[in-house]
Structure formats: C-alpha cells, structure tokens
C-alpha cells in the first residue's frame, strides 16, 4: 500500500478549545465576512457578549449596558451580578462552562451551550474581561485565546457587573469594518424585547417603552392602513398591521434572539394569523391575500430552545417546552383568543382589514391570467437565451455548507457579464445580464412585473413570485458601471426591488458591487483604487511616474483582473434603509417628477464629479512633465 494511504495513530490529532475554534470558526459564529452583511462574524462576536448582559437583565440584575465600537475595538459593560470571581478565567476559556446549565438561574436563556464568549476570546487578537462583585475585581487578558495576564483579585469602587474588551483578529476577519446601522439595528432589537433596559452605544441612548409596537412604528414605510394591533400574553408578544407596499415583512424573536431566518414560531404565526382572520370573517379567503402587505413582529419565550445553528438565526423547537404544548398550538390558541377579541372590539379596524384582503384578492385574480402567460414566457426564455448563467449551489440547498455564499450578479451589457462569467466561482456565483436600461417602475402596479420581459425574468431567476421562501441566492448584487448611465440603471433596479419586493432590501439581500475606478501601476507593483483618496495614496506610495488607468466600464476590466474583485477581496456595499426612511418618499425623490430639490442634488453631485475629473487631468499633466 502506498505510504500516503497509511492511516495510523500518528494521523489522529486532539485540538484544544481555542485551536478548534480558530480552525473551524464557521461552526461557532457562522460566516466570517468583512462587516458588509448584518450576520457577518464581527457582529456575532458582539452579540455573543451582549446576550450574556441581556440574560442578566432578564433575571432582574442591571438596567443599563454600555457598548462602544470604534476602529476595530469593542467594549461592552453591564451592571448585573458579575461573573463569580473565582471562575472568570474558566467562563471565557473552558468550553461547556457557564451558569446557564442551572435552569433555576437561567430558565429561558439565549445561550445554553457554554461556547459564546469562548469563541469571542479565541477569535480576538486581544481579549480582556473583568468582573466586579461587592467591592472586589478580577480581570484576565488573552491573546488569540492564550492567557497572558491573570492578576489576583483586587479591591475596587466600581459598580457590580462584567466588562469585556476585544479586537476581532485580523488574521481571521480580513479587512473588516463595523457598519454602525447594523449595530444600531441589533441594539434596537434588544431594547424592543427588553422594556426598561437602557443601552448606550457610543454615548447615544437606546430604549423602548412599548416593545414590538415601537419596533413596527420605527420601521414602517409610511402610514399603516390601520393602527398597529399589539397583543401580549404569557411568554408571547405580537404586533402587526398592513402597509401599502407589496410582500410580507416579519420580525421574529426567541428569548430575545432575533431569528432572521425564522423557524417554527414564524411559520406557526403565518399559518395562525390567516386561520384566525378567516374564522373571524367566516369566509374562506386565500391565506396569501390575508397576508399580502402585512408587517408583523412576534416574540416568544421557550424553555431550552433548539436552534438549527450556533448563530441561532432559525428556531427548530417543535414545542414551547420539552413535553409541553406544540409551538403551533401555543401560538394559534393565543391568537384565537386575543386577536378575535381585538377585532370584535375594534370594528373600524376589522372593516379596513377586510377591505384590504378584498383588494388583494381582486388584484391577484386580475393578474392570474397574465401570471400564467408570464411563467410560460420565462420558461421559454430561459431555454432559448443565456441571460442567466446559473450556479450549482442555491440558497434553498439547506444541507449545503456554501448556501450562504450564493450570489446573483445583475449586470448591464454582454461585455461586463462576460467578464464576470469567466472569472466567477461557478459553484456559488450566478450572472444575469440586462439588455439596456430597465423600465422605471415608480408608481406602477405589479402588473408590470409580468408584462415587462426583463423584470419577469429577474423575478423568475430569483424565484420570488409568491414569497421569499424559495429565494435562490443569498446576495443579489447590482454590478453596473461607475458612470451616469450605470448609476441610473442601479437606481432603476433598486426602484423595482423596493416597489415590488421590499423584503429583499429589508432583509439585507441586496448589495452594490464596488469595482475599482483606477488602476495605478509600475513595472513591479499594481494597486487597484476604489476612490479618489485611494488613488492619491497609491501615487504617493508608488511614485508620481506610475501609470494611471481610469476604468470607464466593467467591460474594460479583463476576466483575470475581475477575479480579484469578486473573490475573497470582493467589496460589497449593502443597500440599507435608514431608520424612519419611507420607501415611498425615497422613490418619489429619486424617481418621481423632476423637482427643484432633486435638480439641486444632481447638480451638486455633478460638481463633485467634475472636480475629481479636473484633479485627475492635473495629475496626468504632472506625470507627463516629470517623465
């Protein structure tokens, strides 16, 4: 037998806790990422520490949490009971060590596996923790999970609680950057679910008085059709209304954990709310018509929750507690009583709701014939053209480890799509090629989605006609030229998504591909620059005699170069709606009538572009004189 096929005791390795976490970080915190996505690892590290602070608050200890994140450094301080001083080192460096195994202390906790802070420790270049209890303080410092300082207990005047400071390790999280909107959204969710808790992030106070009702009010797009229905019971809270946009928008939580991928509680709510409303009106409405345009939030408390991954984004528990009532029965019984009573007591809301259902039913029936023709056209088009170069793995491949990497690039023109197609990862990256400029869909009805060939094929490629459950790609990346035409196409695509599929944006699936504006190179070095500042820095580093190339379009970038821009070093800018932003107002400003304010905005941005162009021209003249 060949030597390389030998399998002996020498092949067996035992890794210690920190080595295993660093070798397989995805098992503990999901994907790594660079901070461009809300579920990237750097935010999971923050969440793991904050979860412990929340558990203290839930147990009645400490009403304030201080959080700071700046330039790669994170500090988190709670004012709970503090870690028992003799166990400070063990709690952050020994797997399966923690207080949450004692169900009396933490009945309905978020983290139950004793891994969270150990993962933060192991994946940080620097990690420091200290605990204060009754005038005494114990601290410990680590580097990449290795204990470097373990001082004795000392006296202190500080308030009780726990402090954690860490730097995500740049060996693990390469070129990462914190995006404040993602952190703020996470903090707001903690506040909505823990009324009375005050969280200070970089000095700004976050607090909620009305729980999930505040969540919907702060995130709704324009005025709802009727006042938010807010229902509360033992271990459950629900809030919902209907908006004026298409789709279904949900926020679901378990034990304070934002389950971004839903789970059994989310599914049970969708089924139950439709069933209870049908029974109330005593009419067999279609569930899809009832839920069309719904905006809802649900939070449940579960004993010993079972999640489908370490990052706890999808609930798998079938029962509210081991051996207890099923999740479906629990939520259905709650809504059957509370929602039915509410609708009887609020006849005006009940009337508005039924009118909305009838309106959705009417529109669905009007579209039924068009939809059938559009489906057939999409099938025929996908067979006879190459608009979609698909990938092998899809987001719906539940057991595939790479499903979260799935990406659809939407490009303009054959040259750009050709370059991306030749340089992409065929397993996880798909390419859709647009033909010309898409239609401006602002103010149009969903009928246009089926009548317009380009949009019909985009919808078919994503498989989102009926709902988001079959979405085939985790990231939808708009890849257009960095010129006026490219920006216009980008806005037209965003208008389409925000108008008819806003959940794609709200759930952080839509991104813009950042490609270099300049290539600065000498005979020995090449630097790709994504901004005017980077171009200046490259000239300073490489010398004024370096050659500067201004990329006017994606088609000018060769496939060999494109590999750098859509591989490990890909730069994606997430499309995010700022807090309180109205989709209708945003679309009206950018895509509606040409108002004076929009003209002023365009002129100002053109001035910036002209200034940059003049500076580039000046630099080229200097280089020519120097040579």
Q: Which fold has domain 17-206?
A: Heat Shock Protein 90 (3.30.565)
Structural contact between residues 28 and 310, judged by C-beta atoms closer than 8 angstroms:
yes
Q: Which two tokens stand for residue 350?
A: 């009940």
Q: Distance (Å, rounded) from C-alpha 177 to C-alpha 33?
A: 10
Can you say whether the dihedral through the CA atoms of 191, 241, 455, 445 is positive or negative? negative
User: Could you tell me the residue ranges of all domains in the chain?
Assistant: 17-206, 212-357, 385-515+562-592
Q: Distance (Å, rounded) from C-alpha 225 to C-alpha 358?
A: 14
Lowest mean pLDDT among 24-38, 94-108, 258-272: 94-108
In this predicted structure, the answer to whether residue 31 has a pLDDT above a threshold of 90 is no
When pLDDT is cut at 50, 70 and 90, the band that residue 381 belongs to is low
Lowest mean pLDDT among 81-85, 118-122, 413-417: 413-417
Structural contact between residues 43 and 29, judged by C-beta atoms closer than 8 angstroms:
no
Owner of token pair 């079959």: 470
Residue-wise pLDDT for 208-217, tens only, equals 999 999 999 9
User: What is the model's pTM?
Assistant: 0.77
Owner of token pair 């053109």: 606
DSSP letters along 522-548, please? -SS-EEEESSHHHHHHHHHHH-TTSEE
Could you say which DSSP state residue 326 is in?
B
Q: Distance (Å, rounded) from C-alpha 28 to C-alpha 17?
A: 12
Q: Which two tokens stand for residue 28?
A: 């503990």
Read off the pLDDT of each residue in 179-203 and give the average, rounded to a whole number: 93
Q: Which of 18-22, 32-36, 365-369, 390-394 ranks highest by mean pLDDT?
A: 390-394
Mean pLDDT, all residues of the chain: 83
Structural contact between residues 199 and 191, judged by C-beta atoms closer than 8 angstroms:
yes
In this predicted structure, the answer to whether residue 103 has a pLDDT above a threshold of 90 is no
In this predicted structure, the answer to whether residue 429 has a pLDDT above a threshold of 90 is yes
Q: Distance (Å, rounded) from C-alpha 184 to C-alpha 192?
A: 12
Read off the pLDDT of each residue in 126-134 and give the average, rounded to a whole number: 95
Structural contact between residues 17 and 145, judged by C-beta atoms closer than 8 angstroms:
yes
3-state helix, strand, coil in the chain (%, to 5): 45, 20, 40
* 388 Cβ neighbours under 8 A, 6+ residues apart: 382, 430, 431, 432, 433, 457, 461
DSSP letters along 566-602, please? SSTT-EEEE--PPTT--HHHHHHHHHSS--HHHHHHH
CATH number of 212-357: 3.30.230.10
Could you say which DSSP state residue 558 is in?
-
When pLDDT is cut at 50, 70 and 90, the band that residue 626 belongs to is low
Q: Which two tokens stand for residue 561?
A: 């170069």
Backbone angles phi, psi at 482, to 5 degrees: -90, 50
Owner of token pair 């996908």: 382
Read off the pLDDT of each residue in 379-398 and give the average, rounded to a whole number: 77
Can you say whether the dihedral through the CA atoms of 459, 461, 465, 470 is positive or negative? negative
In this predicted structure, the answer to whether residue 46 has a pLDDT above a threshold of 90 is yes
Long-range contact pairs involving 12-21 (C-beta distance under 8 Å, separation at least 24): 17/93, 17/94, 17/95, 17/118, 17/122, 17/145, 18/93, 18/118, 18/121, 18/122, 18/144, 18/145, 18/146, 21/118, 21/119, 21/122, 21/123, 21/145
pLDDT at 98: 55
Long-range contact pairs involving 561-569 (C-beta distance under 8 Å, separation at least 24): 561/519, 561/528, 562/419, 562/420, 562/422, 562/423, 563/423, 564/528, 565/513, 565/515, 565/516, 565/528, 566/409, 566/420, 566/423, 566/424, 566/429, 566/513, 567/425, 568/174, 569/175
pLDDT at 211: 94
3-state secondary structure of 28: helix
* 143 Cβ neighbours under 8 A, 6+ residues apart: 125, 126, 127
Read off the pLDDT of each residue in 566-576 and give the average, rounded to a whole number: 84
When pLDDT is cut at 50, 70 and 90, the band that residue 16 belongs to is confident
pLDDT at 133: 95
Q: What is the radius of gyration, based on Cα positions, of the chain?
A: 27
Lowest mean pLDDT among 66-80, 233-247, 404-418, 577-591: 577-591
Q: Distance (Å, rounded) from C-alpha 119 to C-alpha 96?
A: 12
pLDDT at 71: 85
Q: Distance (Å, rounded) from C-alpha 249 to C-alpha 242?
A: 10
Q: Which two tokens stand for residue 61?
A: 């200890």
When pLDDT is cut at 50, 70 and 90, the band that residue 588 belongs to is low
Q: How many helices (H) and strands (E) does the chain have?
A: 20, 23
Structural contact between residues 273 and 298, judged by C-beta atoms closer than 8 angstroms:
no
Could you say which DSSP state residue 395 is in?
T
Residue-wise pLDDT for 313-329, tens only, equals 788 878 777 777 888 99
Could you say which DSSP state residue 268 is in?
H
Which residues share a beta bridge with 250?
A: 296
Structural contact between residues 598 and 589, judged by C-beta atoms closer than 8 angstroms:
yes
Q: Distance (Å, rounded) from C-alpha 288 to C-alpha 367?
A: 14
Q: Are 17-206 and 385-515+562-592 equal in CATH topology? A: no
3-state secondary structure of 70: strand
CATH number of 385-515+562-592: 3.40.50.670
Which one is predicted more confidently, 33 or 110?
33
In this predicted structure, the answer to whether residue 97 has a pLDDT above a threshold of 60 is no
Q: Which two tokens stand for residue 256?
A: 């304070």
Could you say which DSSP state residue 473 is in?
-
Q: Distance (Å, rounded) from C-alpha 460 to C-alpha 455?
A: 8
């Amino acid at each position: 037998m060949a030597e390389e096929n030998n399998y002996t005791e020498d092949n067996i390795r035992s890794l210690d806790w920190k080595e295993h976490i660093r070798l397989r970080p995805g098992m503990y915190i999901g994907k790594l990422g660079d901070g461009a996505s809300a579920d990237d690892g750097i935010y999971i590290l923050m969440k793991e520490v904050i979860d412990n602070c929340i558990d203290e608050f839930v147990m009645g200890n400490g009403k304030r949490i201080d959080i700071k994140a700046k330039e790669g450094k994170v500090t988190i301080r709670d004012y709970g009971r503090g870690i028992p001083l003799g166990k400070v080192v063990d709690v952050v460096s020994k797997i399966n060590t923690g207080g949450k195994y004692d169900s009396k202390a933490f009945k309905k906790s978020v983290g139950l596996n004793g891994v969270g802070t150990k993962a933060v420790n192991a994946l940080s270049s620097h990690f420091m923790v200290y605990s204060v209890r009754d005038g005494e303080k114990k601290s410990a410092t680590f580097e990449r999970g290795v204990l470097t300082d373990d001082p004795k207990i000392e006296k202190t005047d500080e308030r009780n609680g726990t402090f954690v400071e860490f730097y995500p390790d740049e060996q693990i999280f390469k070129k990462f950057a914190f995006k404040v909107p993602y952190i703020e959204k996470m903090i707001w969710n903690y506040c909505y679910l823990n009324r009375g808790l005050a969280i200070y992030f970089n000095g700004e106070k976050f607090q909620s008085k009305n729980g999930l009702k505040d969540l919907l009010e702060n995130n709704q797009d324009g005025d709802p059709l009727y006042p938010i229905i807010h229902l509360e019971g033992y271990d459950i809270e629900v809030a919902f209304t209907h908006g004026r946009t298409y789709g279904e928008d949900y926020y679901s939580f378990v034990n304070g954990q934002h389950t971004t991928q839903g789970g059994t509680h989310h599914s049970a709510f969708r089924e139950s709310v439709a069933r209870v409303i049908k029974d109330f009106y005593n009419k067999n409405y279609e569930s899809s018509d009832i839920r069309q345009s719904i905006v809802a939030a649900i939070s449940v408390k579960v004993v010993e929750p079972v999640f489908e991954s370490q990052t706890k984004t999808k609930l798998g528990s079938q029962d509210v507690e081991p051996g207890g009532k099923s999740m479906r029965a629990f939520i259905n019984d709650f809504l059957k009583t509370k929602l039915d009573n509410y609708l009887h007591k609020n006849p005006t809301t009940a009337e508005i709701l039924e009118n909305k259902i009838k309106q959705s039913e009417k529109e669905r029936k009007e579209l039924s014939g068009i939809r059938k023709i559009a489906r057939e056209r999409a099938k025929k088009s996908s067979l006879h053209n190459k608009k979609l170069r698909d990938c092998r793995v899809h987001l719906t491949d539940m057991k595939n480890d790479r499903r979260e990497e799935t990406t659809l690039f939407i490009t303009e023109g054959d040259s750009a799509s050709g370059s991306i197609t030749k340089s992409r990862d065929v397993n996880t990256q798909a390419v859709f090629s647009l033909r010309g400029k898409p239609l401006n869909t602002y103010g149009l009805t969903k009928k246009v989605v089926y009548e317009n060939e380009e949009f019909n094929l985009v919808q078919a490629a994503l498989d989102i006609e009926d709902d988001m459950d079959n979405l085939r790609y985790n990231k939808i990346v708009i890849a257009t030229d960095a010129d006026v035409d490219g920006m216009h196409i980008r806005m037209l695509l965003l208008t389409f998504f925000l108008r008819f599929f806003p959940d794609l944006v709200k759930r952080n699936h839509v991104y813009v591909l950042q490609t270099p504006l300049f290539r600065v190179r000498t005979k020995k070095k090449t630097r790709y620059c994504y901004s005017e500042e980077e171009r200046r820095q490259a000239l300073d580093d490489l010398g004024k005699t370096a050659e500067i190339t201004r990329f006017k379009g994606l088609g000018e970038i060769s496939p060999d170069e494109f590999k750098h821009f859509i591989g490990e070093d890909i730069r994606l800018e997430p499309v995010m709606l700022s807090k309180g932003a109205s989709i209708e107002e945003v679309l009206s400003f950018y895509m509606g009538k040409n108002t004076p304010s929009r003209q002023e905005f365009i002129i100002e941005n053109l001035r910036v572009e002209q200034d940059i162009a003049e500076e580039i021209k000046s630099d080229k003249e200097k280089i020519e004189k120097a040579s």
